[in-house]
């Protein structure tokens, strides 16, 4: 999708100045018109803002996940905006739903509004991990945590390892896999030799 780099730049620039939720909404403004045939781009987004000495804030729209890892545990800060997640939440199901329920988005950038773009504070984790569904649908949370511990000081290596760990789903289809990792500035400074 040719517009992806533009959406990224708009989201990041606006998030840095106005916050994570506004960053997502600014990107959403570029794709709200899906064209005359309704076949325009459907995109999801996650933005994390981590000012030096400040609180880490994140926002998302669609089926992307934001995790935090402190080395001992992996915490999912985001909630999937899919039909499956909604059904699980309201019916309190314990069994997984068929894969197709995970495919149906309840929200994405084309219909993102202030009311549908959640924001969260990530206050204690040093490592923030963002994944697309191509990663988190095929890489179990336990494996994500193992990789986070193994590459805690190397954000790019962790992102590469997560993408490499992504595999095909139960039908043999391998979705696009994307991962981004943010090591908080305080953690990066603490890990540098003095």
pLDDT along the chain (194 residues), means of 10: 86 94 91 72 85 86 89 86 56 61 61 82 85 90 95 94 89 86 70 49
Report the pLDDT value the prediction gives residue 81, as an integer from 0 to 100. 64
- Per-residue model confidence (pLDDT) at position 75: 92
Q: What is the DSSP code string of 45-110?
A: EEEEE--TTS-EEEEEESSEEEEEE-SS-EEE-S---BHHHHHHHHHT--SPPPHHHHHSBS--GG
Q: What is the pTM of this model?
A: 0.80
What pLDDT is recorded for position 159? 96
Burial class (CB in 10 A: 0-12, 13-18, 19+), 141: middle
Residue 194's pLDDT is: 44
Per CATH, the number for 4-191 is 3.60.40.10
In the numeric block, which tokens belong to residue 91? 């019916």
pLDDT of 13 = 95
């Amino acid at each position: 999708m040719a517009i992806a780099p533009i959406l990224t730049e708009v989201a990041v620039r606006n998030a840095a100045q106005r916050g994570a939720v506004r960053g997502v909404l600014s990107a959403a403004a570029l794709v709200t018109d899906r064209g005359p045939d309704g076949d325009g781009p459907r995109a999801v987004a996650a933005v994390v803002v981590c000012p030096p000495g400040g609180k880490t804030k994140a926002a998302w729209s669609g089926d992307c996940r934001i995790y935090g890892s402190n080395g001992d545990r992996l915490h999912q800060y985001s909630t999937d905006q899919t039909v499956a997640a909604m059904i699980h939440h309201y019916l309190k199901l314990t069994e997984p739903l068929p894969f197709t329920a995970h495919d149906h988005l309840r929200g994405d950038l084309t219909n993102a509004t202030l009311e549908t773009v959640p924001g969260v504070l990530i206050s204690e984790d040093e490592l923030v991990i963002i994944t697309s569904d191509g990663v988190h649908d095929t890489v179990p949370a336990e494996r994500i945590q193992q990789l986070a511990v193994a590459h805690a000081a190397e954000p790019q290596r962790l992102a590469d390892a997560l993408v490499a760990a992504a595999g095909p789903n139960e039908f043999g289809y391998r979705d696009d896999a994307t991962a981004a990792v943010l090591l908080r500035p305080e953690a990066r400074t603490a890990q540098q030799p003095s």
